[in-house]
């Protein structure tokens, strides 16, 4: 089958479109014919080798962490799906491979595609929606009336997180560039900080939760807007000791993560707030709940550009610019 293959780590020259063997099926797997695949910052980070220690993949491997398509066949233990079902998923972390004609995934990672969405729209949802869900519902436990700051509101995670936070009853602030102010307002943001003009740390106070997907300076300043007992949850790092423990990291990795996050954890403790790192997990059950919100019109996808399969490299380069509004999708079929 045709696939986008990573032969060696690096920003350039290590990936190509070529032929890969058909996916190996397990008893609890569904084999899906890929119609569309979402492109994420995670794909670039894996390609660049930034997660080599955390995610020790064996090369060559097929990239791609968002998929929408049609079930071709199912394993002997699969009960929820049958050939012909239209599905979408964030594949298992160690079995990604959405940039291909077919992918085998655990039944537990998959759910039926929302009726309201096309394949392209559906492929834009899983990774970012699950990230938003696990940050706001699982980790932050956002309640009605709480104040939530979501950084990079026009990005993939941001566009979904704003909508979900509003559904949970939160008062939502977000940061974005001048060009995207109207977009994030249309998604429900109550306060919009144009980072080109204003300093969010000077404008915002007494927030319960900050969702961070940006770099170090923003991370540090985010502590200032939180009320005592507030939560700073970062999806861009640095990883913390709890995350190291959760993934069963080696002693060396545990020490590395302890050191990497020591400064921000110390600053957070001094201010009486909590810092944590979140790396989202695949979940068909959570995706099913998200589907219900989509079909009810509560959450909608934001798709910036759609690229043909032959232009996956170009699609990744566009995502790397950081200028995409919402998600970028590759049409495979």
Q: Hey, what domains does the chain have and what are their CATH numbers?
A: 2-125+301-331 (3.90.180.10), 127-277 (3.40.50.720)
pLDDT at residue 190 in the model: 98
E-assigned strand segments in the chain: 2-6, 15-19, 29-39, 61-62, 67-74, 86-89, 102-106, 110-112, 147-150, 171-176, 191-194, 207-212, 226-234, 274-277, 303-308, 327-331
Strands 61-62 and 86-89: what pairing?
unpaired
Evaluate if residue 155 carries a pLDDT over 90. yes
Confidence of residue 128 (pLDDT cuts 50, 70, 90): very high
CA 93/CA 40 separation, integer angstroms: 13
pLDDT at residue 126 in the model: 98
Percent of the chain predicted with pLDDT > 70 = 100
The enclosing H or E element of 130 equals helix 126-133
CA 129/CA 229 separation, integer angstroms: 26
CA 108/CA 102 separation, integer angstroms: 18
Inter-CA distances, 323 with 129, 176, 319, Å = 19, 11, 7
Evaluate if residue 295 carries a pLDDT over 90. yes
Instruction: Give the gyration radius of the chain's Cα atoms.
Output: 19
pLDDT at residue 271 in the model: 97
- Average confidence (pLDDT) over 196-212: 97
pLDDT at residue 292 in the model: 97
- Judge contact between 181 and 197, C-beta under 8 A: no
Q: Tell me the pLDDT of the chain averaged across its residues.
A: 96
pLDDT at residue 53 in the model: 81
E-assigned strand segments in 90-186: 102-106, 110-112, 147-150, 171-176
Confidence of residue 303 (pLDDT cuts 50, 70, 90): very high
Record the tokens describing residue 23, joined without a space: 């996916």
pLDDT at residue 200 in the model: 98
Evaluate if residue 51 carries a pLDDT over 90. no
pLDDT at residue 206 in the model: 98
Evaluate if residue 216 carries a pLDDT over 80. no
């Amino acid at each position: 089958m045709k696939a986008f293959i990573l032969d060696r780590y690096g920003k350039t020259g290590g990936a190509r479109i070529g032929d890969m063997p058909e996916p190996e099926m397990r008893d609890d797997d569904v084999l899906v014919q890929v119609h569309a695949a979402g492109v994420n910052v995670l794909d670039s980070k894996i390609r660049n080798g930034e997660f080599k220690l955390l995610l020790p993949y064996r090369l060559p491997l097929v990239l791609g962490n968002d998929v929408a398509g049609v079930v071709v066949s199912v394993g002997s233990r699969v009960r929820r799906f049958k050939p012909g079902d239209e599905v979408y998923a964030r594949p298992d972390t160690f079995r990604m491979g959405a940039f291909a004609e077919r992918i085998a995934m655990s039944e537990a990672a998959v759910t039926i595609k929302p009726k309201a969405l096309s394949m392209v729209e559906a492929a834009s949802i899983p990774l970012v929606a699950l990230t938003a869900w696990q940050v706001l519902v699982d980790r932050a436990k956002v309640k009605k009336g709480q104040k939530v700051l979501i950084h990079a509101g026009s990005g993939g995670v941001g566009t979904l997180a704003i909508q979900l936070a509003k559904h949970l009853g939160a008062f939502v602030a977000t940061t974005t560039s001048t060009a995207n102010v109207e977009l994030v307002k249309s998604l429900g943001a109550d306060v919009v900080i144009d980072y080109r003009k204003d300093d969010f740390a000077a404008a915002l106070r007494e927030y319960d939760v900050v969702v961070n997907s940006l770099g170090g300076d923003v991370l540090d300043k985010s502590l200032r807007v939180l009320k005592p007992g507030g939560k700073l949850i970062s999806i861009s790092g640095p990883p913390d000791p709890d995350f190291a423990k959760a993934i069963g990291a080696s002693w060396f990795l545990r020490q590395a993560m302890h050191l990497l996050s020591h400064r921000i954890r110390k600053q957070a403790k001094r201010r009486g707030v909590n810092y944590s790192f979140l790396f989202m997990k695949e979940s068909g059950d959570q995706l099913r709940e998200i589907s219900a919100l989509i079909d009810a019109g509560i959450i909608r996808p934001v798709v910036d550009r759609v690229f043909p399969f032959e232009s996956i490299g170009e699609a990744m380069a566009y995502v790397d610019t950081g200028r995409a509004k919402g998600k970028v999708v590759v049409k495979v079929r």
